Amino acid sequence: MAARSCLEPERELQDAAAAVAGDITVARPGVEGDADRVEVIICKTSDQKATATVTILGQRDDSVRDTRHELVLDKRVDGGWLVTNDVRTYRCQPGRGHRDFSPELCV
């Protein structure tokens, strides 16, 4: 896989990605307190497009170990950023399914 070329994200994009990450973890009851950490990686690909990868690592769930959201953001006319796509994948606990990130649910 070729490395992505990322531009320096401006403050508005960083704030938008942080807000979305907060919304993701708050919307999942217990995740924030029941996971080891949340990682957010931002890649601004053009003046109008960006991606943000939000990964919730070390979940204390019997089947899901980690959850990843691959977000696509588009710049709005007012200068803010809007999430236009969210692809969610999972990595399962040992013995509960796949060990790599996949859209398949853990068992």
Mean pLDDT, the chain, rounded, equals 91
Q: What is the mean pLDDT of residues 85-102?
A: 97
At 62, the amino acid letter reads: D
pLDDT in the model for residue 3: 60
What residues contact residue 70 under an 8 Å CB cut-off, 6+ apart?
51, 53, 85, 86, 87, 89
Q: What is the mean pLDDT of residues 13-41?
A: 82
Q: What is the mean pLDDT of residues 77-100?
A: 96
What residues contact residue 71 under an 8 Å CB cut-off, 6+ apart?
17, 20, 51, 52, 53, 54, 83, 85, 86
- The pLDDT tens digits of the residues spanning 42-87 come to 999 999 999 999 999 999 899 999 999 999 999 999 999 999 999 9
In this structure, whether the domain defined by 11-92 belongs to CATH 3.90.1580 is answered with no
pLDDT in the model for residue 27: 66
How far is Cα 69 from Cα 65, in angstroms, rounded to an integer? Answer: 14
Pick 32 or 55 by higher pLDDT: 55
Q: Kindly report the pTM of this predicted structure.
A: 0.88
User: What radius of gyration, in Å, describes the C-alpha atoms of the chain?
Assistant: 15
Domain boundaries, the chain: 11-92
